[in-house]
Structure 1
């Protein structure tokens, strides 16, 4: 009842082929009317008719099939617990998207015709109205990924900020900010502990890849328990946010510490590096690659006085790009310059992601020994850094030089012979001969 013309509403019994037939029939029966496919049960029921695997592949595959059949928009209805108003809003948003696509196509055809008639460049397209984001995208899509807790209705702050309360926690300060949310320091008034809370605002999540990456970070952190990896304590799912409650590993990252010290001693490299290698080795042994190893993602705890010298705990953080190694070949390349390995930059989809972590960690150690930005200075790279195959080729050529030539280039200031050997074992272009994380960990922890 009340379903507009051109809307194909589908329940959980449909499969890909039956849906495509329905769409083609709707196109024939309603010429000139935008065709919208509204999946009341979400896309999870369609996975039986798709290739399976990563849920996002199922979603994108089904959407491609239906668009090819003539659908102007494919939307997933709320999966449960929402009332008629949310369903009507989802339909209205989908209809607006479909109408806008049709309008865009008409504008393009008109511009092309005008260009042919006038034999000159078409007029610039009209500016599109600003996109109004809301949390409905998350509501409709996150259910295809297992593991998110149910929404807790007790938390209703629309945009969390310093001073707000999240259950027993009071947000006391911001530790960092990204494209999809922020990290806050918070005090848990129930037990007196201090937490780091990573807050993802649902209004900022408007594509499936972002939803998938949040889900992956959650599932990876739930599998990892190691003294040198930040611990996920719990997850809070509110009407407006997804919040990861983690231990507060420290307030200083390794990059800040290197900049403060200019460069680290061999003892510091072994002490801090040995903890990081232990955490990475633990991940690799469980088939997980971090994929974004850099000194900003290594957090240092407060200094503790010991019997011989003071020390501080190092922990790996930010597993937003982490991935099970068995699923790596289906992924696009990622990483941060200048920590990305040559094979990653050359877009080698079959590369060993654990070996890529070793290379990135080698760049971290090189910065610790020579000062931040050593790789850029060696290759003459200037900011802003760009990635791409040509950068990978430059890295491969530079690090394929003879050992003596590389030792000469790493001689200002001269590192110890042992540290130089470590770097030349980690920064090897051929992954067959690059040190494994087990070898790196053995070297760093040999005399600890």
Structure 2
């Protein structure tokens, strides 16, 4: 194989060979780096150009859509991640997106192969450990092979990179609590509640809020604001549960919800705060214009405006939780609006025009950005603004 003109098919075959020189090299990297750091540094320095060429061609083929990951076995996929991360000189974001795409394919194979997945992968590296950790959660969501549940998973986590960047605690939380959460968003016959416009499962919105809450939890920790992780994620998951159940004809009460949370293992105090937040977050029926009503409701949750003294005391004790929950709810709704518009879903069933909703989103996002970093919101607002100015815009 010429170093200046790498045969791509030969590279794939080399990666797939369990005892090929490339496979052995990748398998031995941790040992070599630990026991012979100077040797390994000299070796890669002498061969740096060659290995960078391999890593570059690997990612370039993927970027051009010429890399069919579906035909590559789990072991080779795992080695691909090692190869691209250690030897490619591509920018960090490109390498991360490539790694997430390969991990996504490994996850699909784990779902298909089940227990046989472990038999087909010997490189027990970081990529294997991520897939092993996340697999049970994906199985819970996708086990029914329901396309709407698949959409919950894909939209909820955003792109694959966001999925694999999420804290492992989130996946453990989902594994422990997702079935309980889903049950609360079903009617008496066990049918999942659906969204107004896209008719997708309401669970899609909830999963997105949980992923965003995980992100903001870490931002707050950087500011030395330490919240209870499980309480925050459960609060984000159940922020709409009382309101939505009532809209669907079920009278779910705060006390019933608190009892269920205590059975799930939450303390009496935490269960009370989660269930009380679900009631507190129900918008008040104010006789105001659409914008003013949304503005006042946001400020009530965000700044504690207009609260009675007793309610203000509870708000003060839980304000950081409430700000996260309000932020993730708004941002998830914003992203769903963009998703609906991009996919050409009928906007006519909404009570308010896109212009009115844009004005409300713009105000609330500006307030949210004063507390949390989320540049993606600007892209979403920009898309809606362009859609308003050019109604016939196609994507």
Q: TM-score range by the shorter chain?
A: 0.3 to 0.5
Compare the two structures and name the one with the higher strand fraction: 1
TM-score (norm 2): 0.35
Compare the two structures and name the one with the higher helix fraction: 2
TM-score (norm 1): 0.32
